[in-house]
């Protein structure tokens, strides 16, 4: 069994992509299940096979510990680690080929609190990968694009798993997606765009951050996708299978 963790900023399309990727893989005869790791998810575009909301009830935590919604969400996220074995058992009992983990809207709850990493590193699977979603809407300026790249790089460092960058919402942010694809494949162009947009100290900081990322292989190509139209699902799946077959780290 293989595990795929879908991460990205709030609203970037994690849940819809979880749904679309599952449908695509299922149509190719793979046995795929979905696991919702967002205790605060109000509604999901798919019916999760494993659902953390059944283990952690936000309203009950709010009442029991006299917390507001954010405090309860943080507590629930931290308690996720205590449910790791139950989640593993539920997933194992499905006998699936692939499990896709949809992660919380507030990315920091999973990426930057210890329980997310604990869950990902302790989950027993034949292979694991992170799908990091860039929201194409947020790639309007070179500074925004670089900021997202920094975020992706920090997630990649924290999880230390094979990592695939996906540029989602390419269907509704066509121009932004086209530009971001160019920046991702040509860091010199990105530096030139930063030079046009910024001056003085701002430019120095952004360009030295960019150079550091490039030098260490943290600016890399992305797969354009649309969780709404299914664009890019073939490319994402083939990248995942390459990783899982080869067992090697990807710079995709």
Ligand X SMILES: Nc1nc2c(ncn2[C@@H]2O[C@H](COP(=O)(O)OP(=O)(O)OP(=O)(O)O)[C@@H](O)[C@H]2O)c(=O)[nH]1
**Which residues of the chain form contacts with ligand X (CB under 6 A)?**
8, 10-16, 38, 105, 168-169, 171-172, 226-228
| Residue 170 or 252 with smaller CB distance to ligand X | 170
> Shortest approach of ligand X to residue 75 CB, angstroms?
19
Residues 68-107 that bind Mg ion (CB under 5 A): none
> Shortest approach of ligand X to residue 173 CB, angstroms?
8
Residues 6+ apart with CB under 8 A from 155: 7, 107, 111, 130, 132, 163
| Residue 1 or 173 with smaller CB distance to ligand X | 173
DSSP class of 15: H
Q: Which residue number places its CB atom closest to Mg ion?
A: 15
> Shortest approach of ligand X to residue 218 CB, angstroms?
22
Q: In this chain, which stretch among 6-14, 28-36, 128-136, 143-151 interacts with Mg ion, using CB under 5 A?
A: 6-14
Alpha-carbon dihedral 102, 154, 242, 48, rounded to 10 degrees: 0
Which helix (H) or strand (E) segment is 51 a member of? strand 50-51
| Residue 2 or 132 with smaller CB distance to ligand X | 132
Cα separations in angstroms, 32 against 26, 41, 89: 6, 21, 16
Query: Phi then psi for 158, rounded to 5 degrees?
Result: -70, -40
| 138 contacts 11 by C-beta, under 8 angstroms | no
> Shortest approach of Mg ion to residue 4 CB, angstroms?
15
| Residue 6 or 210 with smaller CB distance to ligand X | 6
Cα 237 to Cα 232: distance, rounded to the nearest angstrom:
9
Please identify which residue in the block is written with the tokens 């083939």: 238
| Residue 34 or 179 with smaller CB distance to Mg ion | 34
* Site membership for Mg ion, residue 15 (CB under 5 A): yes
> Shortest approach of ligand X to residue 104 CB, angstroms?
7
| Partner in contact with 165, chosen from ligand X, Mg ion, none, beta carbon below 5 to 8 Å by kind | none
| Residue 109 or 210 with smaller CB distance to ligand X | 109
> Shortest approach of ligand X to residue 230 CB, angstroms?
9
Cα separations in angstroms, 70 against 73, 74, 109, 112, 127: 5, 6, 10, 15, 33
Residues that bind Mg ion (CB under 5 A): 14-15
């Amino acid at each position: 069994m293989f595990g795929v963790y879908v991460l990205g900023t709030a609203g970037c399309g994690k849940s819809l992509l979880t749904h679309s990727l599952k449908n695509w893989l299922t149509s190719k005869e793979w046995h795929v299940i979905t696991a919702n790791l967002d205790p605060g998810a109000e509604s999901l575009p798919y019916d999760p096979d494993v659902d953390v909301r059944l283990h952690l009830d936000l309203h009950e935590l709010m009442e029991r510990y006299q917390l507001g919604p954010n405090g309860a969400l943080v507590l629930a996220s931290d308690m996720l680690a205590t449910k790791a074995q139950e989640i593993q058992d539920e997933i194992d009992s499905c006998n699936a080929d692939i499990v896709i983990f949809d992660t919380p809207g507030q990315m920091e709850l999973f990426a930057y609190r210890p329980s997310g990493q604990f869950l990902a590193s302790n989950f027993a699977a034949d292979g694991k990968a992170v799908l990091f979603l860039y929201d194409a809407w947020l790639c309007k300026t070179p500074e925004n694009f670089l900021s997202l790249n920094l975020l992706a790089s920090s997630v990649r460092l924290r999880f230390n798993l094979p990592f695939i960058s996906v540029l989602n919402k390419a269907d509704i942010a066509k121009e932004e997606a086209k530009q971001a694809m160019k920046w991702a494949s040509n860091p010199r162009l990105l530096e030139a765009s930063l030079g046009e947009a910024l001056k003085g100290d701002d430019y120095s900081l952004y360009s030295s951050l960019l150079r550091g990322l490039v030098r260490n292989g943290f600016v890399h190509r992305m797969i354009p996708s649309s969780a709404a139209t299914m664009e890019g699902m073939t490319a994402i799946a083939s990248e995942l299978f390459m990783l899982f077959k080869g067992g090697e780290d990807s710079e995709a």
